[in-house]
Amino acid sequence: GMPSLMAVGYSNLHLIAGLAGLRRIASLYKRLSHEAIEKSNRTSDRIFAYLYEGVVLYANCKLDDAVKSFENGIQLADELRATRQLEELTASLASCLLLQGKYERSYKIWKDYYERAIRKEGPQTQAWMVYGQGHSLIMLGNLEEAIRLLNASLDIPMVDASDRILDTTRNGALCLAYFRNEQFAETIEQLERFFQIAPPTPAISSFNYEYTAALNAIFGLLENHATGKHRLSEADLRRLEPSVQRAPKIIKALNKLPANIAGCWLYEGLLAWHKGNKSKAFAHWKKCIETAERDGLPYESGRAHYEIGRHLDANDPSRTGHLSQAIEIFETLNTPYELNLARSVLQGAT
């Protein structure tokens, strides 16, 4: 009936306004969608509201509230066997937990849903769920299994070739997995593939995780080259240069959603350091810490403390404090890759 159509329509408008940062308009459409849901009295309309309200809360870094909205939606979608909405809610919940640094829980959600979906869902759902497991395992330090899963996701053919978000995200994650596994030739090759697939500029609704795995791989390669940890050949530097050139535009475009802002300060700092502007890099990393602590993003805070500590002069009195704080955060998050890096730098500093 008409109230049901209005409920779904207003939920869609709430999502669009919320992602565009139009808070007063988003609030109006949220109220109108709730009124229409009360009139329609259809549980299926409530599922859409939970999904879209969750995404708006997620985008605006109200992460605990977003998690509750997704969980409520999942419960209803499960009861009604609304498989499409259940998939979207599950992927949104797992992605939100990834941003909160809850990698083990995120991995379990991706894995459990994949095991449920493998015989019933289409290839796109399976590809998302396999990708999600792989991305979580990168953060948990299980790189060989992450690479296997990400390649398995890429092997699943897409029914809808227009799903650029999935292709961008899984190709970007594989860049980082190869880099952390010290497969540097594969990293450069995968970055070339990533930038062939990824839209030149992220959409206004793009979340950091679609691009930042590839950015981490780029800056990691550059840092390794600069410090002599792994020198790149002239040919490899030329191959990497187009990826480096794309980074500033990507960071600028991502810096629209509140959920992305702390991460963007982190990557702005890495970019400034690469360009030789040390004071700007430190200023950006301090802004990252400030924003991440406000928004409840422990990984970004830990990374910024690590970057400051790693790049300060060896005799700077604040260096040990930043590195110690990074170690404490990475221990809590259970991210062995970052933890080992921070401990290694601290041991060199003491």
Per-residue pLDDT at 268? 97
Contacts (Cβ under 8 Å, ≥6 apart) of 243: 191, 192, 194, 195, 214, 218
In the structure encoding, which two tokens stand for residue 7, read together? 């409920």
Burial of 155 (0-12, 13-18, 19+ CB in 10 A): exposed
Q: In which band, very low, low, confident or very high, does the pLDDT at 1 lie, cut at 50, 70 and 90?
A: low
- 293 with 303: CB under 8 angstroms? no
7 has pLDDT over 90: no
Residue that has been written with the tokens 């702005």 in this structure: 268
CA dihedral for 240, 242, 243, 245, sign (positive or negative): positive
Per-residue pLDDT at 73? 96
Conformation bin of residue 182: beta by default, left when phi > 0, alpha when psi is -120 to 50: left
**Listed residue (254, 285, 251) closest to 269, CA to CA:** 285
User: Lowest-pLDDT range, 10-14, 237-241, 282-286?
Assistant: 10-14
Per-residue pLDDT at 157? 78
Residue that has been written with the tokens 């480096």 in this structure: 244
Longest dimension (CA), the chain: 71
